[in-house]
Amino acid sequence: MGHKKSLAPVVISGAKRSGTTLLQYLFDSVPKVHTLLEESYFLEYLYDIEGWGLEHFLKLQKYAPLDELVTGSIKRSLFHVFEDGYAPKGTINMQHIDIRYDMERLSKSLEEDRILLDGTVKSVWDMWVRAMIRARGYDEAAFDFAVVKSPDYGKSALMALKYLDSSKVIIVVRNPLYAIDSLKKSRQLRREKELHAFELLRVTADYDLLKRSMMLIDRSGLSGRVMVIQYEHLVSTPEETMKKVAAFLGMAFDPSMCKPTLNGKDWNGESSFETFKGISNSPLKRGITTLSKWEVAFVKEALKDFCSYFGYTEEKDNKSGQGPDIRD
């Protein structure tokens, strides 16, 4: 474990209920790729505190008591640890997958690597990624890429491009009518964060943030490190889509990229409506089932600029499974 390898970060961002989890788990069994198994809010947290707090965040990583650093990071889900294995919420998937983290090994790794911190976000990122890999019993020398997912509407994308110089970003988008319909159903299943009128307004504001984040990336000249894919393409033409993803990342295409797994086990999806194995295009055939008529009208009006930017139109909607070509 003495090898201090830095893995190339692959950051998956986008909107909730838009396929970010599916894409993440398509990397789970790919050789030379380590997938951080659940959402990580490390980069989103940096986005939220970047102005005044970034300098203090970096100092905290080096000087805070180790036990408090670990506890705080896990409670805040900066890096997620499955405490009781994988058991999804807000879906009808009742699948349980046993996933273990050795917390002593994680703490030991952080203790060893804190001396390598040089006051940069990249050094903190590398320290935590190595610790998460070692906590699952692996050696980072076996991997070239680290995949992390955070459906935070582009926040992680912006921070990765700014602070992780070797990173590449994949933005997953979906027709917002169907993504928000799924989000409302998911929250009903969770029995929390009801999508009432003002919460719906906040959600549409998040979509606008994603559009503005992409516009900022386009203006900054960093779009060469970003790939935008549509969920509709991913589930209707998975092999074609994943071959383009592999080429964008500079890795060889592997057939396992078309089979979602979690910790090496078949993954049954996190749909709010049905269970299925592998990649299913059945969501493309499902109409709006949860949003009311006024909510549909509101979303269409509020997100018409978003839909125009990402190529969604009345004629090319979720039900047809068709949309614009992959943008990369």
Asked if 196 and 292 touch (Cβ cutoff 8 Å), the reply is no
Number of separate domains in the chain? 1
Q: Which amino acid does the sequence have at 226?
A: V
Query: 17 Cβ partners below 8 Å, 6+ apart?
Result: 151, 174, 179, 180, 182, 183, 186, 272
Q: What pLDDT is stored for residue 326 in this prediction? A: 36
- In a domain? residue 327: no
The stretches in the chain having pLDDT less than 70 are 1-3, 83-85, 87-90, 92-94, 315-328
In a domain, 326, yes or no: no
**Sign, Cα dihedral of 59, 60, 65, 66:** negative
Count of CB atoms within 10 A of residue 301's CB? 9
The enclosing domain of 308 has a CATH number of 3.40.50.300
pLDDT at residue number 66: 94
Global pTM reads 0.92
- In a domain, residue 2? The reply is no
3 located within any domain: no
Give me the domain span that covers residue 86.
8-320
Domain presence at residue 201: yes
- The closest of 37, 272, 8 to 149, measured between CA atoms, is 37
259 located within any domain: yes
pLDDT of residue 317: 52
Classify residue 328: in a domain, yes or no. no
Rounded Cα distance, 266 and 219, in Å: 40
Are the C-beta atoms of residues 8 and 146 closer than 8 Å to each other? yes
User: Position of tokens 């779009």?
Assistant: 223
Instruction: Determine what percent of the chain falls in helix, strand and coil, rounding each to the nearest 5.
Output: 50, 10, 40
Domain membership of residue 325 (yes or no) is no
Cα end-to-end distance, the chain, whole Å = 37
